[in-house]
Amino acid sequence: MPELVFFSGTMDCGKSTLALQIGHNRSARGLQGVIFTRDDRAGEGKLSSRLGLVTNAVEAHEGMDVYAHLVGVLSEGGRVDYVIVDEAQFLSPDQIDQLARVVDDLNLDVFAFGITTDFRTKLFPGSQRLIELADRIETLQVEALCWCGARATHNARTVDGVMVVEGSQVVVGDVNQSSAEVGYEVLCRRHHRREMTAAAARAAALSPDVLPVSAG
Ligand SMILES: Nc1ncnc2c1ncn2[C@@H]1O[C@H](COP(=O)(O)OP(=O)(O)O)[C@@H](O)[C@H]1O
Ligand SMILES: Cc1cn([C@H]2C[C@H](O)[C@@H](COP(=O)(O)O)O2)c(=O)[nH]c1=O
């Protein structure tokens, strides 16, 4: 049975790499897929991984009907054996409903990849709809780690190096960009709640104001 699978995780946990691997393994067996993405860091119509691989993709613009797009490809004689969607958190709930329809009415597997929550720990609307509709939700096996060594479960946004908890939900950016105006860092929940990024932890460790005191 075809499935709608949601591969989810934090930023930088290997989602795009896995998307490329799934596409590669299927095309090596002669299958043809359609790859959608939205707002990839590498630019419009690209699916890129931090391992350096990049492939062309169909940009799923706001308001685009992804089901109708695939019906169009098929009705023009194109072949579609499966569908990959990267940065799926940026798709609208309606577009996620269209992906479910692709599975049910076109009998195609749909592999969607995305982060579940934003920098405020709130679900992206597209990810929420995927959690509601997916046949399966898979957590990636390669753990992204917080600076403390614990599994990173949350995404933090930094502005000029300082963690923020307010702002627009969508700002395209990357991890390990300390000099960028907007950057991201993956953290465990404990350190996300304390707004303790690696830089903040380093600064606190160096500060004479933060000497260990026993709770009296
Ligand atoms: N230089 C490197 N050597 C080995 N692995 C790397 C390197 N750079 C990035 N990676 C791997 O790539 C992962 C990020 O892959 P990517 O597919 O871009 O993540 P995502 O799409 O989840 O944001 C990192 O977690 C790490 O495992
Ligand atoms: C947490 C968070 C992230 N984003 C953006 C930043 C990146 O462009 C993508 C995630 O890409 P990745 O391949 O998973 O690293 O999402 C955002 O817009 N808002 C956020 O809160």
Q: CATH second-level architecture of 143-208? A: 2-Layer Sandwich (3.30)
Q: 23: part of which helix (H) or strand (E)?
A: helix 15-27
Tokens of 130: 């995927």
Is residue 186 part of an annotated ligand binding site? no
Is any atom of ligand 1 closer than 6 Å to the C-beta of 13?
yes
In the chain, CATH 3.40.50.300 sits at: 1-142
The amino acid sitting at 183 is G
Question: What is the Cα–Cα distance from 50 to 15, expressed in whole angstroms?
Answer: 10
Asked if pLDDT for residue 45 goes beyond 80, the answer is yes
Question: What is the Cα–Cα distance from 56 to 69, expressed in whole angstroms?
Answer: 16
pLDDT digits (tens, 9 = 90+) for 61-92: 999 999 999 999 999 999 999 999 999 999 99
Q: Which atom of ligand 1 is nearest to the CA of 48?
A: 18
CATH 3.40.50.300: does it fit domain 1-142?
A: yes
In the chain, CATH 3.30.60 sits at: 143-208
Distance from Cα 87 to the centre of ligand 1, integer Å: 15
* Nearest residue (CA) to ligand 2, atom 9: 172
Is residue 10 part of an annotated ligand binding site? yes
Is any atom of ligand 1 closer than 6 Å to the C-beta of 10?
no
Question: What is the Cα–Cα distance from 214 to 83, expressed in whole angstroms?
Answer: 56
Q: Residue 177 CA: which ligand is closest?
A: 2
Cβ neighbours around 118 below 10 Å, total:
19
Q: What is the pLDDT of residue 182?
A: 94
| pTM summary value | 0.94
Q: Are 27 and 75 in contact (CB under 8 A)?
A: no
Question: What is the Cα–Cα distance from 177 to 126, expressed in whole angstroms?
Answer: 26
- Active-site residue, selected from the candidate residues 3, 62, 76, 87: 87
